[in-house]
Structure 1
């Protein structure tokens, strides 16, 4: 039977906490999940359901997120990665599996570059490897609305900027996903003390997706209709990681973890237990197979 514990830590004087769902019959290293800039430790029930049977599941309110202390001014990557490494030490394990989605993908990638020996496997989804000037402008304007207390306009602008609204491209559960994302953004805007700072930091303190990575088995995946960063650009990013695999998930946009949550969790569990990806139910026949970044069928 799984056991949930929450522990408080600090790094550089900043307090934060993490949650661990223990699995007594685990088959792989703990799986730590990092999500969006406004997403905390209780936002991943699908990982509990599908990954929980094979591994301890770890989520966190990192500095500047959820119930944690705010981040100090200035670049945050080093402090956030130090906070994650401190969690690994507190878990008392030599290595973890690391799952990063969207904003969390940049953070997870940075951690793998800083301490690769601590990362058994790395899964990155919805990687914002390239953001256009028009996108930045839209989200900057959304941040201004939030700063002035216009939470409704903020939630609408951010949601529209993160989703594919083109009705000619099929996205599973599009309307449901839109309502859920907007409602989540509205809740964060009204209740999170970090909302304004988190959004502005995500826009200005951009992760560095260059430099490459070696020695860490890596899976990169994208919804086929991701309009934040196109699958082609995410595939190009994956090609900078030695031996990585890249997959597209059909009928999904940037919010693939919401539109096809159980399928993504299943794909993650397979990868972190060295299982076959070729039979994952989330893959269309055209992209089935053990795909590398050198295989043109990956996109």
Structure 2
């Protein structure tokens, strides 16, 4: 497994890969996930895939991305990444914030054979939006911010909730000011985006059945925007499914990708146009 850097439209971004002759999988993690804390998932999926994990602009060690840049811009960054590395036919895995980046990419690219998007929906409900805005009140106090995140976004009644909350609080308290600024900008980006466009790629949508951020109804509603969608809910699990149910998530997504087979004939983009962000101003909107 090797870690490299790549320039994506002026933003320096970090990625790692486990190259092989197996089917290509591009993995876009959540806003607080990093190359370092996704080792287990990355290692397990590398047994069946030639896997690339990309930290898009605004994630971890990659350059800060202003909150006015939308998910379509980030989708173009992923398209640029795949183009630069000659990744022509891929499976796509996105977690939470990374699922929204993935969807922006799916609207910009003809490279995606199939996708699995976890912990996301078409738009945030008013309660979740209010929680995100309230988080900004604590951005100068990491302890208060960590407490707010765990109390607002993590349910009490999942199997490992206490241990996970302690881990989340510890991680936030250790964040540099630069990392916290990135996370808050990414969080704000979610509010100003709404996924209203359709696409035809086969897609698995999944989340925990006790997710405090999004509901099963919202995920099911988003599935109607896909021509070929499956929906799965992980039992007794909150928003941090990659920690609470890591083994199930790996098995679920791996089996879904492998079930799609090798007979890929491409797809058609529905209601979208592809453009180069270096030649036009990227506006807010066009995402979730």
TM-score interval w.r.t. the shorter chain?
0.7 to 0.9
SS state at 2:227 partner? coil
**Which of 197, 201, 209 pairs up with 1:211?**
197
Indicate if the aligned counterparts of 1:38 and 1:198 stay in contact, CA closer than 8 A.
Answer: yes
Q: TM-score, normalised by structure 2?
A: 0.83
Indicate if the aligned counterparts of 1:18 and 1:87 stay in contact, CA closer than 8 A.
Answer: no
**Runs of 4+ displaced beyond 4 Å:** none
- Give deviations 1:109-166, integer Å, cap 9, x for gaps: 1111111x211111011114342333333332322312x2x1000011112222112x
| Paired position in structure 2 for 1:31 | 25
More off after superposition, 123-132 vs 154-163? 123-132
| Paired position in structure 2 for 1:92 | 86
Q: Offset at 1:228?
A: 0.7
Paired residues for 1:162-177 under 5 Å: 162-165=153-156, 167=157, 171-177=158-164
- Give deviations 1:68-102, integer Å, cap 9, x for gaps: 22224622324322221122123322122111111
Which runs of 5 or more structure 1 residues have no equivalent in the other structure?
A: 277-299
| Paired position in structure 1 for 2:146 | 155
Indicate if the aligned counterparts of 1:136 and 1:203 stay in contact, CA closer than 8 A.
Answer: no
Indicate if the aligned counterparts of 1:46 and 1:265 stay in contact, CA closer than 8 A.
Answer: no
Residue 122 of structure 2 corresponds to residue 137 of structure 1: no
- How many aligned positions are there? 260
Indicate if the aligned counterparts of 1:99 and 1:122 stay in contact, CA closer than 8 A.
Answer: yes
Structure showing greater relative contact order (alpha-carbon pairs closer than 8 Å, 6 or more residues apart)? 2
More off after superposition, 70-79 vs 84-93? 70-79
Residue 92 of structure 2 corresponds to residue 83 of structure 1: no
More off after superposition, 174-183 vs 126-135? 126-135
SS state at 2:107 partner? helix
Residue 65 of structure 2 corresponds to residue 71 of structure 1: yes
Residue 11 of structure 2 corresponds to residue 14 of structure 1: yes
Q: Offset at 1:64?
A: 1.6
**Distance change (3 Å), C-alpha of 1:258 and 1:160:** same
Which runs of 5 or more structure 2 residues have no equivalent in the other structure?
A: 262-288
- Give deviations 1:232-275, integer Å, cap 9, x for gaps: 11011112211110111111111122101011011111111117
> What CA distance in whole angstroms lies between the structure 2 residues aligned with 1:239 and 1:76?
23
The Cα RMSD (Å) is 2.1
> What CA distance in whole angstroms lies between the structure 1 residues aligned with 2:211 and 2:204?
17
> What CA distance in whole angstroms lies between the structure 2 residues aligned with 1:218 and 1:269?
13
> What CA distance in whole angstroms lies between the structure 1 residues aligned with 2:75 and 2:148?
30
